[in-house]
Structure 1
Amino acid sequence: MSQFELEHLAIMEEGILLYNAQKYWECHEDLEHHWLEEPGPLRNVYWAVIQVAAAMIHYREGNLVGARGLIFKAKQKFERTEQFNIESELLQSELSWEELKSLVRAVPAESQLSDFKKLYDFRFKDPSLWKRK
């Protein structure tokens, strides 16, 4: 099974920049075609970020039901990245993956909008600081 590597990190750069700028819809759009093109379990990395970004749109708009539903789905994608052993040191170090997973998992099933605040404040590591080798 393939792990997350440099080529996957490069694919995500624009989407991560958009996410960090809180341009969640644009992040979703950018990563969606990579998610659709990825045939294997690695697609769950893209998919998780897409769903978290979409949840942040709902949070920002005050749509608790939409935010809850997408966070539940994102939790499933994180489980798949673990199940298929996709998570690599690169994913951890360059995308702050453990922090993101922890914040997503901290949102309770019967959450309130206030439960999303820490996740909304999350930013990925700036791509200009990523290791490229």
Structure 2
Amino acid sequence: MSLVDQLKSQMKDAMRAKEKVRLGTIRMALAAVKQIEVDTRETLTDDQAIAVLTKMVKQRRDSITQYSAAGRDELAAIEAEEIKVLEVFLPQPLTEEEIAVLVDASIEEMSASSMADMGKVMGALKPKVLGRADMAAIGAIIRAKLK
């Protein structure tokens, strides 16, 4: 079953269970996927749909930071609930050890030796960690290893 089909199925379940937050979040995710499909005139693959959901999670994390800084904890809590719903559809996150192994393997594979090679390493890693790790955190690890 494709990720979009899973989202649609879970949307129906959320409707039946009258779970407003879950239903609204899944509808938002489906709308975001549909918008990209309309714009590109292509059906999204699971990897592309995962990228959309990952972006949505990142946006919500940024919103939580901003809401917390402004003292709007009730809005931050809503965003946190939406993240929990979206993370159900994302692949299992990588552990720090797994990330370190992947970074080391990519650095070796690309024969990277300086910061000038960082883009190559990031490009090689991105498809391997899509939706499973934060690329900003991976970038920091690569920077530390390529100094």
Q: For the superposition of Structure 1 and Structure 2, which TM-score range results when normalised by the shorter chain? A: 0.3 to 0.5
TM-score by length of 1: 0.38
Which one has more relative contact order, counting CA pairs under 8 Å at least 6 apart? 1
Structure with the higher helix share, 1 or 2:
2
